[in-house]
């Protein structure tokens, strides 16, 4: 896309928001109402990145760009900033944060780059005094847990390695199991909060284990969801009758057959 293409796109978005001739749906939107679409489009883009489907990736990148343009147009209408201000600010920040590229400063290693990056952010006032940032909690839960673990690791409040993390995970599983062993179903309700808390500890620790093993928990679970979806779809296709009518043993056989077909 050249600059003319981009300017034409900006004009198109502006036309959608024209008070007299714009799209009724677009005219009703504000930053809050558009927020869910930004999240949705971002996750759809992530899916194409994982599958490396470049045709769909191009489309999903466009959908994410659309959300950025819409939010910028809304801000422009209030004389706050426009998309060109966004581009200028981003360009200046990238140049400022990459002196080894644009100022030809010598760097030794990736660690040096990270250190310089943090120093630049600190000079910009972008680093909070708190070790864990409140904005970390705005991420999807597993991604948030991963980010929290990264931050506490920097101040050496972390398990030493994956083995130590796994031991903690096993301990959390035992605590959850003990909590589930409530005396009777009639008393179950009073344990619900405790069960949820213990389950949360298990999930949080599992996210840290994933981090120690070098994986992103959010993306790892996303892959697992996709794998289960594909297997389940194949089970339905292999079944010679309605899936809901199968008994448990028949479903188990189909599951085994699907897994065998993957080998």
Domain ranges of the chain: 3-96, 98-127, 134-215, 222-261
Q: Which two tokens stand for residue 200?
A: 């949360």
pTM: 0.63
To the question of domain 3-96 being in CATH 3.40.50.720, the answer is no
Separation of alpha carbons 203 and 219, rounded Å = 15
pLDDT digits (tens, 9 = 90+) for 184-243: 555 555 567 889 999 999 999 999 999 999 999 988 998 898 899 999 999 999 988 888
pLDDT value at residue 116:
77
pLDDT digits (tens, 9 = 90+) for 143-184: 899 999 999 998 899 999 999 999 999 999 999 999 888 655
pLDDT digits (tens, 9 = 90+) for 109-138: 888 777 777 777 777 766 555 688 888 888
Q: Which of 41, 86, 30 is nearest to 66 (CA)?
A: 41
Provide the CATH number for the domain formed by 134-215 in this structure: 1.10.287.1080
* The three-state (H, E, C) secondary structure of the chain, written as one string: CCHHHHHHHHHHHHHHCCCCCCCHHHHHCCHHHHHHHHHHHHHHHHHHHHHCCHHHHHHHHHHHHHHHHHHHHHHHHCCCCCHHHHHHHHHHHHHHCCHHHHCCCCCCCHHHHHHHHHHHHHHCCCCCCCCCCHHHHHCCHHHHHHHHHHHHHHCCCCCCCHHHHHHHHHHHHHHHHHHHCCCCHHHHHHHHHHHHHHHHHHHHHHHHHHHHCCCCHHHHHHHHHHHHHHHHHHHHHHCCCCHHHCCHHHHHHHHHHHHHHCC
Separation of alpha carbons 166 and 69, rounded Å = 44
């Amino acid at each position: 896309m050249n600059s003319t293409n981009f300017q034409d796109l900006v004009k198109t978005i502006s036309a959608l928001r024209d008070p007299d001739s714009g799209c009724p749906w677009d005219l009703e939107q504000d930053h809050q109402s558009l927020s869910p679409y930004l999240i949705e489009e971002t996750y759809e883009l992530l899916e194409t990145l994982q599958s490396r489907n470049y045709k769909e990736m191009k489309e999903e990148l466009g959908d994410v760009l659309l959300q950025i343009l819409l939010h910028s147009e809304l801000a422009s209408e209030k004389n706050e900033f426009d998309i060109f201000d966004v581009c200028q600010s981003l360009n200046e920040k990238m140049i400022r944060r990459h002196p080894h590229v644009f100022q030809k400063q010598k760097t030794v290693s990736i660690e040096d780059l990270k250190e310089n990056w943090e120093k630049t952010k600190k000079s910009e006032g972008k680093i909070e005094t708190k070790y864990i940032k409140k904005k970390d909690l705005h991420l999807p839960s597993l991604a948030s847990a991963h980010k929290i673990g990264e931050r506490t690791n920097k101040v050496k409040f972390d398990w030493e390695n994956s083995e130590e993390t796994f031991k903690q995970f096993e301990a959390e599983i035992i605590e959850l199991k003990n909590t589930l062993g409530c005396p009777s179903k009639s008393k179950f309700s009073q344990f619900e909060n405790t069960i949820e808390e213990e389950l949360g500890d298990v999930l949080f620790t599992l996210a840290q284990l994933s981090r120690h093993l070098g994986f992103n928990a959010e993306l790892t679970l996303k892959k697992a969801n996709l794998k289960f979806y594909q297997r389940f779809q194949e089970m339905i296709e292999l079944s010679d009758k309605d899936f809901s009518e199968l008994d448990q043993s028949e479903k188990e056989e189909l599951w085994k057959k699907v897994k065998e077909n993957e080998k």
